[in-house]
Amino acid sequence: MKSVNHLAILRLQLLSAAALMAVLATVFGLGCTDNGSGPQGISDDQILLGQTAVISGPAQELGKGMRLGIEAAFHEVNREGGVHGRALKLKTVDDGYEPDYTVDATEWMIERDRVFALIGAVGTPTSRAAYPLADAAGVPFIAPFTGAEFLRDPGLRNAINVRASYHQETEALVERLVEHLWASRVAVLYQDDTYGRDGLDGVRAALELRDLEPVGSWSYRRNSGVGSETIAQIVAADPDSVIVVGTYNPVATTVESIRKHIDPIFMTVSFGGGNALARDLGKAGEGVYVSQVVPFPTDTDNPLVAHYHSALAEYSPQALPGFVSLEGYLAGRLAIFGLETCGRDVDRRCFMETLRSAGVIDIEGFPLEYGPDDHQGSDAVFLTVIRSDGKLHRADKLETLY
């Protein structure tokens, strides 16, 4: 039996639906959307926001986590009557972590659904495809799940980031490797796209500050596995540490494959999945370090995490707390802050100006601060490690190489 290309079907559905709406609008004078939203995604009783994210395929836990966190935040405020009498609604379209599908989904939400803003996009290559469309339409591009440098360009008008950048994450990883363990033979495996190359650049810059350079760098294709030849080349380079800039599935298989031959320190950035990576590796992941950009999601002594737990339990009682959904919750809370501050007469211009001029935005003790040329709210980077129980734990310092 032939396999079904679900993303191809999705694209055909989007295109055929768009064509049908255009015909109906021409013949019968019907509008372009049936969601009841006005031209900026706002109706009398609702504000519609859109998300393009990976909901299927090998990186699906990232998109599902972001969606879960955003929806938990929206459910929390909707339960109290919404924002100035309007309920917040999130529409998510699966882009499979492929930029071509991201373009179709983004155009659909901007032109047909007329979303107020795009929120919680997942990935660097997909965000690079979506942002120009949002910018051209004047649609805010809020809290993407990526630390890409291009979204931190001071000249951008419609981008608002929550998290620290990949360069900050890789700097934190390299700093600990060199200062805690005297590591000097750092190998890099990266996803061969804008995400992976951004991380590779960050590692190289951090090593250069310490008069070092990678012993080698290798790449693999997005949404695919890492080849045995690549694994053999990394093993032959005999690194004392390997930084993998990828998603949780190839990170996990890389760790397992290389550890059959040598046992370097393994590290990855937050987009590596955190909880999903620990689940995939289990006890075999002991000693793998992951940088994070939000607090530990089970630390309920932290006010932000306590509120997140309450919102998650109310919205989806069976859901387990995680780093990705906590970041989604932060994204949702940031959007709520901007909408509430603007009042009943909210529009996109007020929303963006509010976030950029508010000073410190305190979300349950987690500070975010923006400015006219500063699109990144937080610089915080935390370190975690998978222990022998197969779970992530906080890590203040790296352990010995041997």
Q: Does domain 6-164+302-369 have CATH number 3.40.50.2300?
A: yes
**pLDDT tens across 42-80, in order?**
999 999 999 999 999 989 999 999 999 999 999 999 999
Single out the residue of 80, 99, 77 nearest to residue 88, CA to CA: 77
Instruction: Give the residue extent of every domain in the chain.
Output: 6-164+302-369, 166-292+382-394
Of 387, 162, 190, which Cα lies nearest the Cα of 269? 190
Same fold, 6-164+302-369 and 166-292+382-394: yes
Lowest mean pLDDT among 23-32, 115-124, 217-226: 23-32
Checking if the pLDDT of 325 tops 50, the result is yes
Lowest mean pLDDT among 9-18, 185-194, 285-294: 9-18
Residue 30 confidence (pLDDT) above 80: no
The stretch 378-393 carries a mean pLDDT of: 94
| Residues 6+ away with beta carbon under 8 Å from 380 | 164, 293, 294
Residue 296: CA count within 13 A, CB half-sphere: 13
Task: Determine contact, residues 200/173, Cβ cutoff 8 Å.
Answer: no
Ranking 26-35, 111-120, 174-183, 373-382 by mean pLDDT, the lowest is 26-35
Q: Would you state the pLDDT for residue 119?
A: 98
Tell me which amino acid residue 237 is. A
Q: How far apart are CA 240 and CA 107, in angstroms?
A: 46
Q: What whole-number distance in Å separates Cα of residue 264 and Cα of residue 240?
A: 5
- Name residues whose C-beta falls within 8 Å of residue 201's C-beta, 6 or more positions apart in sequence: 149, 167
What's the CA gap between 176 and 241, in Å, rounded?
A: 11
Place of tokens 């294709």: 221
Give the burial class of 88: count Cβ atoms within 10 A of its Cβ; 0-12 exposed, 13-18 middle, 19 or more buried: buried
pLDDT tens digits, one per residue of 332-352? 999 999 999 999 999 999 999
27-48 average pLDDT score:
66
8 Å CB contact between 323 and 292 = yes
CA–CA separation, 339 vs 123, rounded Å?
25
Q: Which class would CATH give 166-292+382-394?
A: alpha beta
